[in-house]
Amino acid sequence: MTKTVIVSGSSRGLGATIVKTLAQQGNNVVINYHNSAHAAQKLVDEIGTQQAIAIKADVTKRNEIDTLVQEATEYFGQIDVVINNALVGFKFDPIQQKSFADLSWEDYQQQIEGTLKAAFNLSQSVIPQFIQRQKGEIISIGTNLFQNPVVPYHEYTTAKAGLIGFSRNLAAELGQYGITSNVVSGGLLKTTDASAATTPEVFDLIAQSTPIKQVTTPQDVANMVAYLVSDQSNGITGQNFTIDGGLTMN
Ligand SMILES: NC(=O)c1ccc[n+]([C@@H]2O[C@H](COP(=O)([O-])OP(=O)(O)OC[C@H]3O[C@@H](n4cnc5c(N)ncnc54)[C@H](OP(=O)(O)O)[C@@H]3O)[C@@H](O)[C@H]2O)c1
């Protein structure tokens, strides 16, 4: 069945791989971007305007997200799935990462807003139409650093840990309306712009410590997201799926 999926922050990186994968499977995709208008438009050109639209919105601004949801709903008729994917103002850089003593509360605040406020905005904005149709899916992108902080990216990982609690509360409350909520947590991805500063030593260390001796790719994570978007996963909610080649085990 064709679904219409909003993917936050999908002009580049994992989000771009997710929209390409979902579009290949016949879904309609709403490509949300903030600064990368050209990259978002290139994706629309690749996928085609029948199946894709690019919409600018800052995920941390509720009014912009409400407008995005409204425009996307007018374009495709309805929204079936939202994916909280955007990564706001963060790079996986083990050399530049501040130690706990040097972090400010503002550093934490930025990641909490970029992750949690963003997921709050997009999820709450689509909920009325999900409840009205008694169907809908919320998928949030997390990290395996929550289970194993190979590099202590304090502010990022703490915000992502909150995302799991957020997602499970939605699952508990909204299941009665036919709405599911799950998290897909990736290992360090080889590579997106955000992980490009990761040193080869860290990638090697991760590969060697991983049962399948490989680091995770954006496609590995996108494949799990595609499964959750499909009707084959209708019975699943409240879960956190870790896609990291077995580096962490639940
Ligand atoms: N990379 C990894 O190793 C890794 C590992 C595990 C999990 N993840 C997760 O995967 C997701 C995507 O990360 P990534 O590596 O693909 O990041 P990325 O390469 O830095 O891309 C970030 C994306 O988020 C968008 N974005 C940034 N600020 C935004 C805002 N205020 N409003 C809307 N969109 C905004 C960017 O859009 P514009 O360019 O248009 O501004 C871009 O499309 C994140 O949830 C991240 O935590 C990543």
Query: Whose alpha carbon is nearest atom 36 of ligand 1?
Result: 9
- Output the domain CATH number for residue 95: 3.40.50.720
Ligand 1 lined by 11 (C-beta under 6 Å): yes
Largest CA distance in the chain: 51
Q: Which of 87, 88, 111, 183 to mutate for ligand 1's pocket (most ligand atoms within 8 Å of CB)? A: 87
Beta carbons within 10 angstroms of residue 114's beta carbon: 22
pTM of the model: 0.99
Residue type, 92: F
Residue type, 212: I
Task: Give me the residue label for tokens 């629309």.
Answer: 44
Query: Whose alpha carbon is nearest atom 35 of ligand 1?
Result: 9
Using DSSP, state whether 84 is helix, strand or coil: strand
Q: Which residues pair with 88 in a beta bridge?
A: none
Tokens in use for 57?
């919105």
Asked whether residue 31 is assigned to any structural domain, the reply reads: yes
Residue 166's nearest CA partner among 117, 218, 108 is 117
pLDDT at 1: 83
Ligand 1 lined by 87 (C-beta under 6 Å): yes
Asked whether residue 139 is assigned to any structural domain, the reply reads: yes
Ligand 1 lined by 117 (C-beta under 6 Å): no
Q: What range defines the domain where residue 156 resides? A: 4-243
The rounded mean pLDDT for the chain is 97
Ligand 1 lined by 33 (C-beta under 6 Å): yes
Report the number of secondary-structure helices (H) and strands (E) in the chain: 8, 7
Tokens in use for 161?
């840990």
Asked whether residue 101 is assigned to any structural domain, the reply reads: yes
Asked whether residue 249 is assigned to any structural domain, the reply reads: no
Contacts of 102 (CB under 8 A, 6+ apart): none
Asked whether residue 98 is assigned to any structural domain, the reply reads: yes
pLDDT at 250: 81
Asked whether residue 248 is assigned to any structural domain, the reply reads: no
Task: Give me the residue label for tokens 């909520």.
Answer: 181
pLDDT at 203: 93
Ligand 1 lined by 143 (C-beta under 6 Å): yes
Question: Which atom of ligand 1 is nearest the CA belonging to 91?
Answer: 20
Question: In Å, how far are 45, 68, 161, 209 from 111, measured between CA atoms?
Answer: 32, 22, 11, 28
Ligand 1 mean position, distance from CA 101 (Å): 26
Asked whether residue 250 is assigned to any structural domain, the reply reads: no
- pLDDT of 113-165, one tens digit each? 999 999 999 999 999 999 999 999 999 999 999 999 999 999 999 999 999 99
Question: Which atom of ligand 1 is nearest the CA belonging to 11?
Answer: 43
Give the integer Cα–Cα distance in Å for 152 and 3: 37
Ligand 1 mean position, distance from CA 230 (Å): 23
CA quadruple 126, 71, 90, 229: dihedral sign? positive
Q: How many domains is the chain built from?
A: 1
Q: What is the mean pLDDT of each run of 10 residues along the chain (250 residues)?
A: 96 98 98 98 98 99 99 98 98 95 98 98 98 98 96 97 98 98 98 94 94 98 98 97 96
Ligand 1 lined by 188 (C-beta under 6 Å): yes
